[in-house]
Structure 1
Amino acid sequence: MIRSRPLTDRFTTRLDRRALLGGMASLPALALATPAFAQQGRAAVAEWSDSFDAGSRSRSTRNPYPVLGPHTVQGLEMAIGQYQQIVARGGWQPVPDRERLRIGARRPAVIALRDRLIASGDLDASTGRSDIFDSFVDTAVKRFQTRHGISPDGQVRDATFAALNVPAEMRLRQLETNLVRVRAYSGFLGNRFIVMNIPAAQLEAVENGTVVSRHVTVVGKIDRQSPVISTRVQDINFNPYWTVPASIIRKDLIPKMQAEPDYLAKNRIRVFNGQGQEVAPESINWNTMEAMNYRFRQDPFEGNSMGNVRINIPNQHAVYMHDTPSKGLFGEDQRFHSSGCARVQNVRELIAWILQGTQWSRSEIDRIFRTTDRVDAKPLQPVPVYWVYITAWANPDGLVQFREDIYQRDGIGPQAATGMGQPVALR
C-alpha cells in the first residue's frame, strides 16, 4: 500500500504525468474568474451561477484531509523528514528570474527550473535536464503553483519565481513551526466544525474528520489582521444591517465622503446620533473627525457590504463571517482585503451545512437570498469555529502545502512566497 512506503517513494509514485494531471482537477475554480464580476454593478448576479462559487464540494472529495487534525500532524512529521533530507543534500539552487518561462520556451533557465522542481518532488527526475519547457515541466509547475496558493497557469512569473526561490532551509523551519501550531489543535475539535486558515484565505467545513466542502475566503489586510480565535456559530442573520466599525469610519468612510459627498446615499448608509435619531449627512463636517460621534448603518440590499448573510461567531475582536457583493475578490491569489472579518465564497453551501436538520433547506435559503427580508436562524447545535494561522501543512499522502507568512508571524525571516494583497476601501 502507498501509505506504507517512505515519503520519498510516495513522491516518486505520485509524480507521473497522469497523476499530476489528475490532481489538477481538484484545483479551486479561481482560474475561471472574470474581472467584470469585481464591479459592484454585477452584485445582483445569482451566486449559484458565479464561477467563483463553483466546485467547492468536488474539491473536498479529492482531498478529504482538513488542515487541522491527526492526519495533518502525521503529514507534517513525514514532510519534515523529507525536507531534512533535501537540506542535507544541499537544498536547491535559485532559478534565474530574468524572464518569464512558459511551455514551449527553450532557455538555460529551464534546466535550473527542472532541477528545482525535481528537488521538491514536483517533477520526476526521469524527465531529464533538457532546456525545453515541455508538457512535463508545465504540469509540474502547475502542481507547484497549486501547493503554494498561486493560480496554476503553468507560467513562471514573479509570484512563482519568489516561491521557487525560498531556500529549502526556510521551508524546513516553516514546517517545524507549523507542526507546533497544528499539534495545539490535536484534541477533539468536534464532530462538525469549521476551520478557516488565514494565510491560505480558505475555509473548510469538517464532519467526522473529513472535509465536506472548501470555501475561498477574503481575510484581513496587513494593517487590519484577522485574529486567531476559537468560537462557535451562534446564529445566522439573513439580509443583515451593517453597522460600520469605528476603524472603517475613520480610515475609509470619512475620506470617501470628502471625495464623494453622495457616497452614503448611493450605498444606502444612514447616520444616527447617540439618541438613535437619523441625521442628515450634510449636517456633518467631513473635514474633521466629527463623524466619529455618529453611528452609520447600511440597509439590507444587494450591495450591502455583508451581502445577503452574516454568520455570527461571538469573540472579543467583534469579527464574523459573511457574504459579499464583491465576488471578484475571490478570484485573486492574494485575498487580504478585509478589516478583519472573513468573506466566504459560496456561502450558501456553508450555511446550508451549518443549518442541517432545521427548517432551512437549500431551497429556502435560496428563496430568502432573493429578498431583503431580515430573518435570523440558529443551528440545532452550536458549530465550533477555529480561525488559525497555518503557513505550511501536509497530507499523509505526501502533498505538502506552503503559504506566504502574510502577517510575519513565523519568525523565520523574509516572507515566503507571493506579494502582499492591496487594500480596498469599505468592502
Structure 2
Amino acid sequence: MMCEDVLKIKNLPKELTDAEKKDFLKHFGASKVKVITSKAQQKSVVFAKFDSKEVAREVLFRLHQTYILKNRLCVEYADHDIGLPKIKKVEQANSSNKEHFKSFITKLNSFNHSVEFHQPPPPHLKYIYPKANRPTINNIGHALATVPKFYTQVLHLMNKMNLPPPFALQEPLRQQATKPQVQQRNINPPQPKSQESSSESELESDEDSKQHKEIIPQKRVLHQKKSVKRPKFIKPNIVVSASTTKHEKTEDIFEKTDVQTQRKIELKVSATALETKVHEQIEQTNALQSHVDEAEEQSNNTKSDKTIITVEELTANQISAKDLDVLPVFKNYHPGPPTCRLYIKNIAKSVELKDLEYIYHRYKTEASEGKVNNFEIRLMQEGRMKGQAFVTLNSVEIAQKALKETNAYILKDKPLVVVFARTAPSKK
C-alpha cells in the first residue's frame, strides 16, 4: 500500500545534521519527521508525514528534482506509515505452501486427476503389455536414440533396479583386454616326459579350458565387390602403304621455276646535264621561298590592321551556356549585380596585355563632353592575383554586353570566367 500523506525524501546533503533536516521539512508543514541514516553507505532517508494528502502532494511537486547544496532531491510517496514496519505474512505463506504440497501429492498419487479420481489406483490392477519381440525392441531403441530425456530415465531405472550398466567398451579397451588371453593360448605346453604326466596335463588342461573359456568375437567377413570385366582396347592394325614409306624429293613433286636475280643497270650521264638540273632545282626553291615570305608579310599586315576582335571569332571560340555546368570552373557560377567594372579570372599564364586589349577594345567608346573616359585594362602578372584582370568600361550597359559575349571565351586553351566586380573605384 502507498501512503499518500507520507513522503520519502532521498539524496539530502551530507553537511546537514538530523535536526536541520527535520527543521527543513517542518518548514514545509510536516507534522512528523523520521530520519534514517546508514553509517556504512553514509546516506540518509527522511520520512515526513503531513496533515492531508493535498499538502503532501504540493510539497512533492515543490521539492522533487530541486537542488540543495549541489544535491538533487528525490521525493516520492512512502510505502508505509511512519512507525509501522513492514509486516511479513509468514503464516499465510506457510499455509499456502502446505496447500500447494497437498495438491501436488494428490496429483502424483491419484488414479486420474483430470476426472477427479484423487484416490490411488487399486493394488489388484496390473498393466498387461504384449511380450517383447524384435520390432518393439527396435522401436524402443529408436525412441531412446531420439528422445534424450527418455534415455536418462531408463538409465535411472536400471540403476535403481541394480541392473548391470549397458555402456559398451571402446574398441582400444577391447583390444587390450583380449591381447593377454591370446598370448596365453598361443604358448605351447611343454612336451610330456612320461605317460602319467601326460594324463595329468590333459586333465589339468581340460579344467583350465573350462574355467578360462571366453567368447572371442569373430572378425567380420567383408563382402568384396565383384569386379566387372571390361574388354581391352584393341588397337587397329594400320596398313602402311609403300608409297608413304618412300621419301620423294621435292624436285619430283614441284615444278622448277627460274628465279631472276636483280641486275644493276649502268647509265652514262654527262656532267653538263647534271649541272643544268641542279640549277633548275635551286631556282624553283628560291621562287617558293619568295612566295612564302610574301604570304607571311601579308598575314602580318592583316594582323596589324586587325586591332579589334570580330563577332565571328567571339562566337566561334565561346563555350555555349548549356555546356558550362560540365566544367568545374563554372560550378556555382553567378555574375553578380551589374556594374561598369568586370573581373576576369582563369587566365592562362602566357596571356599578355595585348591579348586582352585585342578582345576588349571592341567595347571601348568615346566619352561624352564633360565626362572622363574610364576605360582601363589591368592584368595581374605577379603575386597572388596572377592570372586575373580588371576591365573598367564607360557604362553598365556596355559591361553587360561585354560579359555576355566574352564569358567562357577560350583564350589560349583556357576559358575566361567573367563576372561583375564588386565596386568600381572612381578616377580622380
TM over 0.5: no
TMscore range, shorter length: under 0.3
| More relative contact order, 1 or 2 (CA 8 Å, 6+ apart) | 1
TM-score (norm 2): 0.17
User: By percentage of residues, which structure has more strand?
Assistant: 1
Superposition TM-score, scaled by structure 1 size: 0.17
Structure with higher helix content: 2
